[in-house]
Structure 1
Amino acid sequence: MNITGMSEQWVTVRIQQKGDSKCIPWKSLRDLVLVHPDVKKRVDVFALGIYGLVVFPKALGHIDEAVSDLFDRLSKGITPVPAILAETFRSLNACRKTGEGRFIGCSQLLLAWFHSHFWKVEKVSYRVFSDSYSPLEELVATPRRDDISEERWMEILQNLQDEDIEWRAPWLIPDEILYRCGNFDWVPLLGIWRAIGYAPLLVSRQYRSRQFIPATQGLAYCDFSYREDNYKKKVREVSNA
């Protein structure tokens, strides 16, 4: 109601249950983009569609209730970056643990991260980093390459060496990094549908220097859901590990 400016009745009749989530069909929002008398509302509804269908996809052709809740808070200064990071980690971790599956998230943002950090793929530097460099602008201006097959991407990623990865991004060095939440060194990073264990001291080291090879034992157990039983115990176990 806040985002669309429509009545409670209009919203209620369009809400649908998809799995364990309440969603609204994109078709209903698309019609608003075309006919809504308030131009600002048209833009807001269109932006909500991008968030629900591209950045945080869950049910095909529908916008999840949790996504609309996050989007409604953006005007209050809430940043979506931690949620994007958490959902990317959650989705990739789920695929890795099962050995199969499909990445659910914004593949365009993930590709931008690849291009800006895997700077020596094919042993040719993508771009000399500078304070004014924007990986998103470069990615948008670069013609899409269809000549790299899935097998080639797998070969590139499996054969990456530590000297091929540049974690430090001069245009995105934070002044302050959250490194503790209460007594926990592993800070829960809140996402849309769950949280993941976030190691801020590790991130701080990666931001300010070249990547070092971290120990990966136990990473499969670093994600958890607040809806599961004994989630606080899992947080303590991750922190102790």
Structure 2
Amino acid sequence: MKQLLYCNYGDIHCLLDVKVDRYLFRAMAQFWNSTYSCFTFGNVDLAPTVEEYTVLLRCLRFQVDKIYSRAVNTPTFVKRLMNITRMSEQWVAALVQQKGSGKCIPWENLRELILTHPNMKKRVDVLALSVYGLVIFPKALRHVDEAVADLFDRFGKGVTHVPAILAETFRSLSACQRVGEGRFIGCAQLLLVWFHSHFWRVENASYCHFFGDYSPLKEIVTISRRDDITEEK
């Protein structure tokens, strides 16, 4: 199952092991430059790029020249969930909820499906959908939003999701800074890993970097860090 998850969805499962340092994140957000969509530290401008995020996530099956954009005529949320889970329309329709202006499905029901679905590939697909809905695009707490299901449904066509992740990251950082508060609706785990990767000190170059199965995200996650640093420091 781990191999199937990696082959189809890259290293997204590593994001589950990333601990979000809220003090570091709040400190970073203060340096966000909404005008130029980058972090400005003194005279240095720094911003995550499509190439960096692609390397961190190791999106092997996705094509960089086919980015996600929502089509005008898309299947209903129920139809998309049926396609992803291979469950009946009655089962899916009974679980769909309305939250605010959009629809979603509770994580607890997806969790049950991951544990009990008879098809191993579908269990992996539902797990990946949950990671996208709860970690990468956490719009509704403990729920997977219909917009995530639309993006996820198109992965089979080789569409890359990295520009969508970056766009949501930039938009949410600017929105939080504009009002001076708010919940960051983006992948905080990936943004922090990207930030740490620019200040990652290595005394000697590791030969592992030249292996085809080398995972920078997995290696960065295993590095121990201090967690007692205040926001002021």
Say whether the fold is shared (TM-score over 0.5).
yes
Shift of the alpha carbon at 1:46? 0.7
Kindly indicate whether residue 124 of structure 2 is the aligned counterpart of residue 49 of structure 1: no
| Aligned residues of 1:115 and 1:126 also touching (Cα < 8 A) | no
Q: 2:194 aligns with which of 113, 119, 127?
A: 113
Whose RCO is larger (CA < 8 A, sep 6+)? 2
Letter in 1 for 2:122: K
Gaps of 5+ in 1: 120-124, 153-241
What TM-score results when the alignment is normalised by the length of structure 2?
Answer: 0.58
Kindly indicate whether residue 80 of structure 2 is the aligned counterpart of residue 15 of structure 1: no
Letter in 1 for 2:159: I
State how 1:179-194 maps to structure 2 within 5 Å.
none
Shift of the alpha carbon at 1:8? 1.1
| Aligned residues of 2:197 and 2:220 also touching (Cα < 8 A) | no
Q: SS at 1:150's partner residue?
A: coil
Q: Mark the structure with the bigger radius of gyration.
A: 1
Q: What percentage of residue pairs aligned between the two structures are identical?
A: 68
Q: Summarize deviations over 1:163-197 as a string: whole Å, max 9, x none.
A: xxxxxxxxxxxxxxxxxxxxxxxxxxxxxxxxxxx
Kindly indicate whether residue 80 of structure 2 is the aligned counterpart of residue 80 of structure 1: no
| Cα separation, 2, equivalents of 1:108 and 1:101 | 17
| Cα separation, 1, equivalents of 2:167 and 2:109 | 29
Gaps of 5+ in 2: 1-81
Letter in 1 for 2:125: D
Q: SS at 2:139's partner residue?
A: coil
Letter in 2 for 1:49: S
Kindly indicate whether residue 169 of structure 2 is the aligned counterpart of residue 94 of structure 1: no
Letter in 1 for 2:146: E
Shift of the alpha carbon at 1:137? 2.8
2:201 aligned partner:
126
2:227 aligned partner:
146
| Cα separation, 2, equivalents of 1:103 and 1:112 | 16
| Cα separation, 2, equivalents of 1:80 and 1:58 | 16
What TM-score results when the alignment is normalised by the length of structure 1?
Answer: 0.56
Q: SS at 2:182's partner residue?
A: coil
Instruction: Say if 1:71 and 1:144 are closer, same or farther in 2 by CA, change over 3 A.
Output: farther
Shift of the alpha carbon at 1:143? 2.2
| Cα separation, 2, equivalents of 1:74 and 1:127 | 35
Q: Summarize deviations over 1:18-74 as a string: whole Å, max 9, x none.
A: 111100001111111111110111111011100000000011110000101111111
Number of positions where the alignment pairs a residue of Structure 1 with one of Structure 2: 146
Shift of the alpha carbon at 1:144? 4.3
